[in-house]
Amino acid sequence: MSTMTHEPDTPMFDPDAWALSDQERDLAAVAREIGQEKIAPRAAEYDRAAAFPIENYRDMYDAGLMGICIPKAHGGHGLSVRGYAVVAAEIGRYCGSTALTWNMHVCSCLWSGALTDDLDMAEADRHHHETTRAIHYRRILDDGAIYAQPFSEGGAAAAGTVAFGTTALRVDGGWIVNGKKIFASLAGSADYYGVLCSELQNPNDRSSRGSTLYLAIPATSDGLTVAGDWDPLGMRGTVSRNLLFEDVFVPDGSELMPSGIYFKAASQWPHMFMTLTPAYMGQAQAAYDFTVKYLRGEMEGVPPVKRRMYPTKQIAVAQMRVMLEQTKSVWFQAISEARANPTKDQVMRAYAAQYTVMENANELAQLAIRTCGGQSMLKSLALERIYRDSRCGSLMLPWTAELCLDKLGHDCLYEPGETDEE
């Protein structure tokens, strides 16, 4: 039963117009109601304190959203990449930090679930994976465990183009992990850290991309330290501090993917790197929503003064609506095409969609400020936070705005294997 105390927001993606499945429609509606009623009122305080939004996670758990990408056979909703993205975008309308960190948690299930199921794997590895992932899924569904996904080391390892510097040395009963992860979202708040490592069989082995291992490391592990300050411009509630691993023992059964499978996934499932975009798609919608409510005199905390009758305001809102519709269209098409071994055109569309969302979210926030005027920049209103949060998207690895342009420009002009050598 709905608990809405005021007029509910309309869906970002109308179920009929965008041909959503019944499941996508229903879960997006749940996310939108929680977002509007519970997440939005807390967003300013979590931003001000640069604190992890733990209350939001408790509400999402109670609503069944923490396991949306856990396969149905394991008790989850079994959502696809598209389904998750549509739901996450609704969360992003109300709190960018919540949506972005929730991405890290959900992708621990998505990568170990639907993505892995689409990859070739030896029968023994498949059986072992089925056993180990069941352990992680039960922690989430039964205990409300929160999984982080710290992969960044400041280089190209996350994209699968070079080996990870964090290593997992094979020992009796498990692994010894050493290394460092930077900008590790949920640092100090997650129950488990899904850490990408280079697996070593012997101490003198060299790291390789093909031996990447994805391990869930308990936050309480000896030798695991959260380090560094956290006082950034935007996405402050992500609490993306550094994680240090010094001789951390991780027992057998902690794998989220079998050894070497992440490299296959990064090569064959490029859309997996688009899962950061829903938070920013939601931010783009939020900037537009704010502007319409503000100009109509319907903004909470602001005197009910209408500003909609001015032609300059109407033109500006029209421009914002055009940009929003363009952004939603290319993004929805790209996430709908997410699959293993996509075509070249589908990958290029993914790059284009990633770039468009990350850049346009902030551009829309800028237009919103110019259209609404100086009062809209007050910290008592959401637009100032939306502007700061939305600026972070283009910087996020492994597909930053510049890297997307680089990849897209190359692929437009070269076919696979082509060079300029005589």
Per-10-residue mean pLDDT, the chain, length 422: 70 98 98 98 98 98 98 97 98 98 97 94 95 97 97 69 89 97 96 96 88 96 97 98 98 95 93 97 98 93 84 96 98 98 97 98 97 90 97 94 96 93 72
Euclidean distance between CA atoms 338 and 271, whole angstroms: 5
CB neighbour list of residue 252: distance below 8 Å, 6 or more residues apart: 173, 174
Give the pLDDT score at 403. 95
Cis (ω within 30 of 0) for the bond into 150?
A: no
Other beta carbons within 10 Å of 419: 6
- What burial class does residue 62 get, using C-beta atoms within 10 Å of its C-beta: 0-12 exposed, 13-18 middle, 19+ buried? exposed
Give the pLDDT score at 252. 96
Give the pLDDT score at 161. 63
E strand or H helix that includes residue 293? helix 277-295
Give the pLDDT score at 303. 79
Euclidean distance between CA atoms 348 and 334, whole angstroms: 9
Euclidean distance between CA atoms 413 and 344, whole angstroms: 12
DSSP lists the bridge partners of residue 244 as 180, 225
Which domains does the chain show, CATH number per domain? 22-145 (1.10.540.10), 148-260 (2.40.110.10), 269-413 (1.20.140.10)
Give the pLDDT score at 293. 96
E strand or H helix that includes residue 226? strand 224-227
CB neighbour list of residue 146: distance below 8 Å, 6 or more residues apart: 57, 66, 105, 186, 189, 190, 191, 192
Euclidean distance between CA atoms 239 and 237, whole angstroms: 5
